[in-house]
Amino acid sequence: MTTPSASPDPARIPWAAEQAEALRTEIHRALVGQGPVVGQVLAAFLAGGHVLLEGVPGLGKTLLVRALATTFQGAFARIQFTPDLMPSDVTGHAMWDMKSEQFHLRRGPVFTNLLLADEVNRAPAKTQAALLEVMQEQQVSLEGRTLPVEAPFMVLATQNPIEQEGTYPLPEAQLDRFLLKVRMDYPEAAEEAALVRQVTTDTVGDALRVDGVRPLMGAAEVLELQRLVATVRVDDAVLDYAVRIVRTTRQWPGIALGAGPRGAIALVRTARAQALLEGRDFATPDDVKAMALPALRHRIQRSPETEIEGLGSDDLLLALLAKVPAPRA
Amino acid sequence: MKPGTMGFIPRTRAAMEAADLGLSLLQAHWRPVARVWGLQLGFLLALLLPFLHQTPLWVLAVLWWLKPWLDRGVLFVLSRAVFGQPASVWDFLGEWRSVHRRGLVAGLLWRRLSPMRSYVLPVSQLEGLRGAGYRRRARVLTRKGGGTGFLLTCSGWAFTLLTAVGFIALVQAMMPAGSRVQVWDGFNNPGPGFQWFLLGVGLLALTLTEPLFVAGGFGLYLNRRTHLEGWDLELAFRRLAARLALVLLLAWAMPLRLAAQAPVQEPTAQVPAPEASDDAPQPTPQTGPQPGPQPEPQPAPRPADGPLRPDEEARQRAQRILEQDPAFKHTKEVRTLSYEPTGREPRWLRSLLDYLFAKEEPAQPSKPQNLDFLKRMWDLLALVGKVVVVGGLLAFVLWLVYRFRHRLGLPLVEAKAWEAPEAVAGLDIRPESLPPDVPEAARNLFLRGEARAALALLYRGALAELVHRRAMEIPASATEGDCLRAAEGHLEEGPAGAFHLLTGTWQRLAYKNEAPTRDAFEALCDAWPAAFGGRP
């Protein structure tokens, strides 16, 4: 994550909360409904993490990312992952210039602020791994040179939960790099009606319309917001609660492999962002609990018998959360 | 095997005609064959479908592989029908063990793809030969007619295939004009419906052709044995012997009648008795007219002499061949336990031994015992079925009563009574752990500088109120937010507002370490009794 250039002022947390709320409102101008999804994506954005979006096509994943990019005047790039996509198509490559008789670096689409990796599981592991370095280190190694990616940087990868034919499931190491795995479900009936009305009114074709979204801040403000999130107070009891949840996943029946320490780190980071989104400068166990599902669902592996019974990761985590005692300081 | 009792005329036939003989046998006895076939097929389907109902083509494949087992039922019926014995389904069940005892495993494994399967099937099933004996016997049998047996197998395959294809074509032809359904297209993408259709077609084809195949092979087998053992000759001899016996009887009867009418003569006129030329027991003929009553009629005396009487040497040679040649004689030594009652054993032991050794008693035929055993098994199954059905019905009725108990006016029974926790994550919420006056005690704590303890007391007092007096189900895993959401549905506006304020204040103190001001705390204490009713 970007190192803050100056120590953030905790007194500006109310301003940050206002800005976060304004971001949410602006995104909802383009994307109708999907409140929890927007909240979780914003939490990951403010916490400086990456998001894996899972949902069937046509729910507005791309629209969400474009709206988010528009709110802070950031650069936006999209890569459609295909089986023949090469790592150089993601990170960039060196090109021989006949005139100057020199190699010129041609930067790939990862050099942006918001990267939408569409259907990330359609590309083979080699190409998926090309994202690993830039996600973790926020830098790209090209032709022996290390090129930093401009902050803020966030990857929003999408994958389709239904089509498994011809896909390459993301390796555990890469799944762990995503701060949150957000499930995008079909909207409610009223939301869907409003969405259809909004999209079809005064619109030709099926172009994504984000022109209603106003830019609210620049990259510098986003970085300040992210630094302020890091100052949100997390009491020992809350931190202990997050750790207890993660540790319980390792002994919970039905979970073959529990979450690692990165799970607890993700939980606390996103709990901070969630507290800010709620307008608080301190995190509560509620924030941890609210972020437990998206932060942990991709970090646990179900046991074979659980899979046979048809229980999903969310079912297991909900049962687990109902049993882990909440702290009262 | 007595050729005289057979239901066909044993004579040497050409192989094709022999196969046709088998088909005629099947034609004459198709009803019992169909019943036994249906029983076996139904049994197999009942066994296979629960496991393979999602892949009907596998059912067909397994049935195809188990055809030798199905063939045994057909052969059982035909082999009994040849001698005029009944072959009902019950007879088949009664002989279940003997039908399947010999060579079934070999028939299903290494002899499954034998090119002359139906021809040599009787060797293992009817003659009970195994191993080297089986191979020698099969070699002897297939020396003639083997080619026809192979052709029979090939034609069996062809007919089965043709029947199946023909039936599919028939179904396609029966499709109404303009229908878009193309049955043949199912082969490109066989969905579940098409697989079931293919299973049905396969069963139909098997049912139509397999009994013909077995019957043809059995005809070949009968013809070969007629060849080898001279059943036709034996039958001819027997007929000849019977006819000659009649002639001789008449020849004997005539002089006797004449003698009865003539005056008594001296015994010197006695016709000399023929010297027995063989050691076979011969009826002693009345050799002369005797005074007194008419002689008793003699039971069909064998001819005393003539071309049909084998000499001693020929008899011994025939006996030797019959005893030594494995093609005719198969000796097997069986040792078994038997039981002779002494009369001194206790009754229970006697009944147990009777039960255990009942099958070994030669006096009792095996078939009724097998049937008894089957009947007992059937009774037991019927009892179990009855219990299951009655129990299921009873359980269903009870479930209906339970399910619709609210409509029947029955008292609703809580599935599980909610047990209020004594502590919610470290906060003791038992009513007895609280002081009589919670706000007053909290005030005292606050004045002593123990703001955290004071607010904790107010908060857990409120929780105790919610859990114990308002019977809200708050588990130990509930966070403050969960408690707040749960309370929103249970509390009126006033208490809900107070609880919201109290929770927010408590969260700021607990997780931000930000104590409330004295005024704010006093406001909380003032609102507490009205909201949470004093001591719970």
pLDDT band at B260 (very low <50, low <70, confident <90, very high): low
Distance from CA of A296 to the nearest CA of B (A): 18
Q: What is the mean pLDDT of residues B189-193?
A: 78
pLDDT band at B481 (very low <50, low <70, confident <90, very high): confident
Q: Which of A284, A318, A320 to mutate to test the interface with B (most CBs of B within 10 A)?
A: A284
User: Would you say residue B261 has pLDDT above 70?
Assistant: no
Question: CB distance from B476 to chain A under 8 Å?
Answer: yes
Contact A326 B507 (CB under 8 A): no
Distance from CA of B452 to the nearest CA of A (A): 9
pLDDT of residue B193: 81
Question: CB distance from A235 to chain B under 8 Å?
Answer: yes
pLDDT of residue A248: 92
**Least confident piece of the model among A222-226, B97-101, B292-296:** B292-296
**What is the Cα–Cα distance from A292 to A294, expressed in whole angstroms?**
6
User: Would you say residue B316 has pLDDT above 60?
Assistant: yes
Question: CB distance from A278 to chain B under 8 Å?
Answer: no
Question: CB distance from A237 to chain B under 8 Å?
Answer: yes
Question: CB distance from B508 to chain A under 8 Å?
Answer: yes
Write the burial class of residue A120 (CB in 10 Å: 0-12 exposed, 13-18 middle, 19+ buried). Answer: buried
pLDDT of residue A31: 80
pLDDT of residue B398: 92
Question: CB distance from A260 to chain B under 8 Å?
Answer: no
Tokens of B401: 């009563």
pLDDT of residue A3: 40
Contact residues on chain B for A329, CB-CB shorter than 8 A: 452, 509-511
CA A42 to mean position of chain CA atoms: 8
**Residue intervals in chain A for CATH 1.10.8.80:** 232-329
Cα distances (Å, whole numbers) of residue A326 to A309, A320, B426, B450: 29, 12, 9, 23
pLDDT of residue A309: 77
pLDDT of residue B269: 39
**Least confident piece of the model among A76-85, B11-20, B271-280, B402-411:** B271-280
Nearest CA in chain A to B477: A325
Contact residues on chain A for B513, CB-CB shorter than 8 A: 235
What contacts B516, CB < 8 A, 6 or more positions away? B451, B455, B505, B508, B509, B524
Contact residues on chain A for B460, CB-CB shorter than 8 A: 328
CB A280 within 8 A of CB A255: no
Nearest CA in chain A to B421: A325
pLDDT of residue A292: 92
Q: Which residue among B427, B478, B511 places its CB closest to the CB of A235?
A: B511
**What is the Cα–Cα distance from A28 to A38, expressed in whole angstroms?**
8
Contact residues on chain B for A321, CB-CB shorter than 8 A: 477
pLDDT of residue B238: 84
When the pLDDT of each residue in chain B is averaged and rounded to a whole number, the result is 78
**What is the Cα–Cα distance from B460 to B458, expressed in whole angstroms?**
6
What contacts A282, CB < 8 A, 6 or more positions away? A232, A233, A234, A235, A275, B507, B508, B511, B512
**Least confident piece of the model among A113-127, B86-100, B251-265, B341-355:** B251-265
Q: Which residue among B456, B475, B480 places its CB closest to the CB of A284?
A: B480
Nearest CA in chain B to A319: B477
Handedness of CA B263, B266, B271, B276 (dihedral sign): positive
Question: CB distance from A275 to chain B under 8 Å?
Answer: no
Q: Going residue by residue through chain A (329 aa), what tens digit of pLDDT does each one get?
A: 334 444 566 677 788 888 888 888 888 887 877 888 889 998 998 888 899 988 887 777 878 888 888 887 778 888 888 888 888 888 888 788 888 888 887 888 888 888 888 888 888 888 888 887 788 888 888 777 788 888 888 888 888 776 666 778 888 878 888 999 998 888 888 888 887 887 777 666 666 666 777 888 888 888 888 888 888 888 888 899 999 999 999 988 888 888 888 899 999 999 999 988 888 888 889 999 999 999 999 988 888 888 887 788 888 999 898 888 888 65
Q: What is the dihedral of CA A38, A40, A44, A45, to 10 degrees?
A: 20
**What is the Cα–Cα distance from B397 to B113, expressed in whole angstroms?**
54
Contact B479 A323 (CB under 8 A): no
pLDDT of residue B304: 45
Question: CB distance from A221 to chain B under 8 Å?
Answer: no
pTM summary value: 0.52
When the candidates are 1.10.3720.10, 1.10.8.80, 3.40.1350.10, 1.10.10.10, the CATH number that belongs to A232-329 is: 1.10.8.80
Nearest CA in chain A to B476: A325
Q: What is the CATH number of domain A10-231?
A: 3.40.50.300
Q: What is the mean pLDDT of residues B155-169?
A: 91
Per DSSP, the residues of A297-324 read TTT-EE-HHHHHHT--HHHHHHHHHTTS
**Least confident piece of the model among B28-42, B231-245, B390-404:** B231-245
Contact residues on chain B for A326, CB-CB shorter than 8 A: 424-425, 476-480, 482
pLDDT of residue B214: 92
pLDDT band at B298 (very low <50, low <70, confident <90, very high): very low
Q: Which of B424, B463, B479 to mutate to test the interface with A (most CBs of A within 10 A)?
A: B479
CB B536 within 8 A of CB B465: yes
Residue with tokens 């990761």: A313
**Greatest mean pLDDT range, B184-193, B283-292, B448-457:** B448-457
| pLDDT tens digits for range B50-75 | 888 888 888 888 888 988 988 999 99
**Least confident piece of the model among A261-275, B339-353, B505-519:** B339-353
User: Would you say residue B161 has pLDDT above 60?
Assistant: yes
What contacts A286, CB < 8 A, 6 or more positions away? B479, B480, B481, B482
Q: What is the mean pLDDT of residues B476-489?
A: 82
CB A159 within 8 A of CB A120: yes
Residue with tokens 């926790």: B421
Question: CB distance from B504 to chain A under 8 Å?
Answer: no
Nearest CA in chain A to B508: A282
Q: What is the mean pLDDT of residues B338-346?
A: 77
**Greatest mean pLDDT range, A294-298, B285-289, B333-337:** A294-298
DSSP state of B158: H
Contact A233 B511 (CB under 8 A): yes
Contact A321 B511 (CB under 8 A): no
Residue A258 DSSP SS3: coil
Question: CB distance from B62 to chain A under 8 Å?
Answer: no
- Give rounded-to-5 percent helix, strand, coil for chain B: 65, 0, 35
- The CB density around residue B427, as the number of other CB atoms within 10 Å, is 19
pLDDT of residue B213: 92
